[in-house]
Structure 1
Amino acid sequence: MKLTSLFSLFLLAALMFACGPEGEKVESSEALAEAETTTAAAAYTVDPAMSIINWEGTKLVGGGHEGTINISSGRIALANNNIVGGDFTVDMTSLANTDLEAGNGKEKLEGHLKSGDFFNVEEYPTATFNVVSAQPVPAGNEGPATHQVTGNFTMKGQTRSIAIPVIVSMDGDMLKIASNDFVIDRTEWGVNYGADGSVADLAKDNIINDNVGLVLQIVAKK
């Protein structure tokens, strides 16, 4: 059997059995018009020290990495125990890997992800999420989510609307918003390997799973 045929069979097998990140796939759409927040809403300020995004990236041929990104600021508006507005800012320069040890590839991977090859944090140091609406999840629906929060997510200068199932709870004067694992397609925000579109970059990008797993945790205080 020719080497090209062997390679094709290997690649096909890898694609068939490759595992992507865990979580519900969240589809994106065109940006939505943002709603005005009622003056009667109570304002909660996001606590960056208690808020975080966990991420997971995988390869079609197996393996992958995971890490965190800090939430640097934000506010959530609450009226009659319902989220009626808000936004938060993600510090893309804080992107960190957590599965590699320092001196053993950690710094190289972080630099690679922050470079123009992927998130280009020098040009786009922040990402933002602006709440458009939040609807309670009907009783009896599967899963622990209490609300579905729809908003405009802007990353690398591109804005797309997504709806994230979350658990909303109160703990004293703290408002907590936590998601289960969910997945977005990075390419819909222009996050592709390399900026010049060379054949080599396209080949490398095709090995990386388009889907990125995320888990969101926000704590906001009155």
Structure 2
Amino acid sequence: MKKLFLSLAMISAVALTSCGGNTETVNATEAQESATASEGAVTYIADSTSTVNWKGGKTFDDINKPEEGHWGIVKLKEGTATVNNGVLESGKFVADFTTFESKDLDSDPETKAKLDGHLKAADFLDVEKYPTASFEITGVKAIEGGDYNSEISGNFEFRGTPKNVTFKANVTVEGNVVTVKSEEFGINRKDFGITFAGGGGSIIKDEVLLQVDLTAKAQ
């Protein structure tokens, strides 16, 4: 079994978030030059089952009222990664935000449809104007020890705003299949133009938690 330094942080965002565990919000900086593949690199094509998982939540003015949150998925529309001698060199991935859904409400279709429609609207994801988001790798660094084997930096373009972000992930290659699972990491929704604050006594948190599950196959 080979180890490969590959990952995807694409995104997504929903203007709600739940902050848990030791998750930290990553810094979003100016976009950088994309990485390129060397001669002889192998191209991997992302599988349609790949997803970006999200968590979102809100607090309330009434401190006696517990926080509320939701979680769900966004499906990957397309993506490629190039690998040379087991090392990721470049890649770009596109998430389809028309597939955005809150999986925690599967047992309540009416409430789910209402929430998903609300979050896809202009105040939040604005899916009609921005149906996709992309992540293009700008750099890869190996990690020794700890829970993850790679640190990936890339330009995350979401709601028309490109920002460079860095996160950790574990990647494994078996035969012609690459599987990737990132850490759960946070982004600040305001970095990408989502400024809706809430209402009716609720306060939308700024942090959105993301976690990537990716499968890619050699072309």
Matched residue, 1:99 = 104
Question: What count of residue pairs does the alignment treat as equivalent?
Answer: 193
**SS in structure 2 of the partner of residue 108 of structure 1:** helix
**SS in structure 2 of the partner of residue 66 of structure 1:** strand
Q: Cα RMSD over matched residues?
A: 1.8
**SS in structure 1 of the partner of residue 173 of structure 2:** strand
Q: Which has the higher contact order (CA 8 A, sep 6+)?
A: 2
Q: Does 1:86 align with 2:91?
A: yes
Whole-Å separation in 1 of the counterparts to 2:45 and 2:18 = 37
- The two structures have a TM-score, normalised by structure 1, of 0.82
In our comparison, the structure showing a higher alpha carbon Rg is: 1
Matched residue, 2:126 = 120
Question: Is contact 1:83–1:133 with CA below 8 Å preserved after alignment?
Answer: no
Q: Tell me the CA shift for residue 176 of structure 1.
A: 1.3
Structure 2 segments unaligned to the other structure (5+ residues): 1-16, 61-66
Whole-Å separation in 2 of the counterparts to 1:75 and 1:99 = 30
Counterpart AA for 1:117 = D
Aligned pair partner of 1:180 in 160, 179, 183: 183
Q: Which runs of 4+ in 1 moved over 6 A?
A: none
Question: Is contact 1:150–1:163 with CA below 8 Å preserved after alignment?
Answer: yes
Whole-Å separation in 1 of the counterparts to 2:179 and 2:99 = 22
What percent identity do the matched residue pairs reach? 31
Structure 1 segments unaligned to the other structure (5+ residues): 1-17, 194-201
- The two structures have a TM-score, normalised by structure 2, of 0.83
CA spacing shift, 1:89–1:60, aligned 2, 3 Å = same
Alignment of 1:136-155 (within 5 A): 136-137=142-143, 139-140=144-145, 142=146, 144-155=147-158
Q: Does 1:76 align with 2:81?
A: yes
| Structure that is richer in helix per residue | 1
